[in-house]
Structure 1
């Protein structure tokens, strides 16, 4: 009986990982780039002992300024895996999610030009353990991202008068 329960739990864990990676692959390229930026920062942080992977999207939006310029906002969960930090190309069967750690609630907002993340303004990445996320932190993150949501050159073209 215990063996059967163990097999069922393992199968559920692999299925959960597979579903999460499928959700990641369904993200459009600009949103994947933001998730990758957050994962890179997190997985390179010396305090982290385990590898993290994308778990699911909560909210996202984008503004197209035209001329190849866009602004992206993405709120998503990352989840810790059983693999060590720095694991290269982890797959769901070898790197299952751990269920004994809280999810990380992350926000990534950044501007792009021709789908490449622009260095200025610097992309904003903020991750916090889900139980620690308070309404004032949510507001601060959203306000910061909204402040990045502008394209300084956009008004110049629109301000010109035709002869």
Structure 2
């Protein structure tokens, strides 16, 4: 009886943590969802990745409205491995639960949109790396690159405008 109770508590807790990441994704504005999808597409198409990765949580995000339908975005988020193999189609958290035995991938992505669509010019910057390998130098380079992207339009730094954690 005690074993069944413990198993039930473990299962309920695990289910809650598995669905947390995708609930957070559903709460993101479409503007940030598009960027996350772009980052996950890059991660999941990498030949070095064996599991399918899904959005886990946002660490920070900022955006800047440059006017005339142009917006710049920066999103720092984590992606987490699931129990599904890379290449899984229509993966969702109920089918592909998160694994807790793999490191998360830390992603920083910045991009320009015009009327809600991600523009090819400047090319979206996607920097994703396994968290244990992320260095302060990488974070600095990521930040500098994204700031240059918004400066090229004559705007203020994307990292300084309307941020949230």
Residues of 2 paired with 1:9 and 1:93: CA distance? 16
Residues of 2 paired with 1:14 and 1:91: CA distance? 13
Q: 1:65, 1:151 within 8 Å by CA — same for their partners in 2? A: no
Q: How does 1:80-159 map to 2 (within 5 A)?
A: 80-150=81-151, 152=153
Q: How does 1:15-94 map to 2 (within 5 A)?
A: 15-94=16-95
Rate the CA distance shift 1:11–1:93 in 2: closer, same or farther, 3 A: farther
After superposition, what is the alpha-carbon deviation per residue over 1:46-82, rounded to whole angstroms, capped at 9, x for unaligned?
2211100000000100011000001100000000000
After superposition, what is the alpha-carbon deviation per residue over 1:10-46, rounded to whole angstroms, capped at 9, x for unaligned?
3322211211111001111110000000111111112
Residues of 2 paired with 1:37 and 1:78: CA distance? 12
After superposition, what is the alpha-carbon deviation per residue over 1:122-163, rounded to whole angstroms, capped at 9, x for unaligned?
100011111222211111100011010136387xxxxxxxxx
Q: 1:71, 1:149 within 8 Å by CA — same for their partners in 2? A: yes
Gaps in structure 1 of 5+ consecutive residues = 155-163
- Structure whose CA Rg is larger: 1
Residues of 2 paired with 1:120 and 1:136: CA distance? 26
Rate the CA distance shift 1:144–1:112 in 2: closer, same or farther, 3 A: same
Q: TM-score if structure 2 supplies the norm length? A: 0.86
Residues of 1 paired with 2:56 and 2:22: CA distance? 7
Rate the CA distance shift 1:149–1:23 in 2: closer, same or farther, 3 A: same
Q: 1:14, 1:92 within 8 Å by CA — same for their partners in 2? A: no
Gaps in structure 2 of 5+ consecutive residues = 156-165
Tell me the equivalent position of 1:158: none
Range moving further from structure 2, 41-50 or 31-40: 41-50
Task: Report the number of matched residues.
Answer: 154
Q: TM-score if structure 1 supplies the norm length? A: 0.87
